[in-house]
Amino acid sequence: MKRIGIITKQNKPEAIKVVKELIAWFKDRQVECFIEPETEKFVPHPSLDREEMLISVDMVVVLGGDGTLLAAARTIQKRHIPILGVNLGGLGFLTEITLDELYPMLANILRGDYKTDERMLLEAHVWREESVIGEFTVLNDVVINKGALARIIELETSVDGEYLTTFRADGLIISTPTGSTGYSLSAGGPIVYPSLQSIIITPICPHTLTNRPIIVPEGAVTRIILRSKGEEVFLTLDGQVGFKMELNDRVEVKKAEGFISLIKSPSRGYSEVLRTKLMWGGDIVTNR
């Protein structure tokens, strides 16, 4: 690792402090590093915009939380460079390295002593009549959701061209295994081990209680057509990017060609992350 990019959650003072420390740490080890132009406002140092950075570096350090990593992942997937996600708050599902672990972990990485987890992505194409009006890549999920004052919406859903059902619900989530612990979990979806290759379809508050989440193969193409007229409906990508949908807009979701390589914590497995984040194994209160 000779050239490293640093992507930082903006407007977070503790992140700027860590960036300064990282620059000095890399300099002592004769490793070239780059920050983003937004960070250069606070730290005078050579910067590259995200697109330039990703064709120039051997690895990216993401400082922030899972949201910061999700935003970076949509660009990083174009190259399969490893990502070290460092959580500046509590433990994250994606940014599972703590500040205490950061420098020992970096020392291991510079020696080539590290392992990665490959995470699948989804790509979504949005059609309006006969034109594609949006193409997106996500690490977590594609969500179709009604506005705050809208009634139940109707979403005609097919898998590989075969009609599945028309969900009458508050919305629909199509997620990766990585995204199974996000919005999908809150909506009653299953936790899927992130190394599996599959796609989860989870209805949000369905009108028909027998509408349950379904897991489809990684190669499946899911098509959703909005059949509700006069309702406010939004498409959201990874909870960060989105726009308003119109009647008969259709969304086609399938596995993306690229993938994300997350550097794994040497001291913490996925089971421990689940136990910590979901507070499994704590004190249980019973009525006995």
pLDDT average, residue stretch 159-178: 97
- Give 107-153 pLDDT, tens digit per residue: 999 999 999 999 999 999 999 999 999 999 999 999 999 987 778 99
CA atoms of 150 and 135, how far apart (whole Å): 26
> pLDDT tens digit string along 60-111?
999 988 888 998 888 777 778 999 999 887 667 888 888 889 999 999 999 9
Residues 258-271 have a mean pLDDT of 88
Span 250-265, average pLDDT:
93
Which CATH entry fits the domain spanning 122-257: 3.10.20.30, 3.30.1360.80, 2.60.200.30, 3.40.1350.10?
Answer: 2.60.200.30
pLDDT 10s digits, 42-66: 999 999 988 888 889 999 999 988 8
Pick the catalytic residue from 28, 66, 100, 113: 66
What tokens were used for 89?
Answer: 């708050």
- Residue 11: pLDDT band by 50, 70, 90 thresholds? confident
Please report, rounded to a whole number, the percentage of residues in the chain having pLDDT higher than 90: 68
Is residue 192's pLDDT more than 70? yes
- Which residues, 6 or more positions from 178, have their beta carbon under 8 angstroms from its beta carbon? 93, 94, 119, 120, 139, 140, 194
The verdict on whether 66 is a catalytic residue reads yes
CATH number of the domain at 3-115+264-277, out of 3.40.50.300, 1.10.40.30, 3.40.50.10330, 3.40.190.10? 3.40.50.10330
Return the closest-CA partner of residue 263 out of 88, 80, 24.
Answer: 80
Say which residues have a Cβ less than 8 Å from residue 145's Cβ, sequence separation at least 6. Answer: 170, 171, 204, 233, 234, 236
Residues pairing with 215 in the sheet? 200
Domain ranges of the chain: 3-115+264-277, 122-257
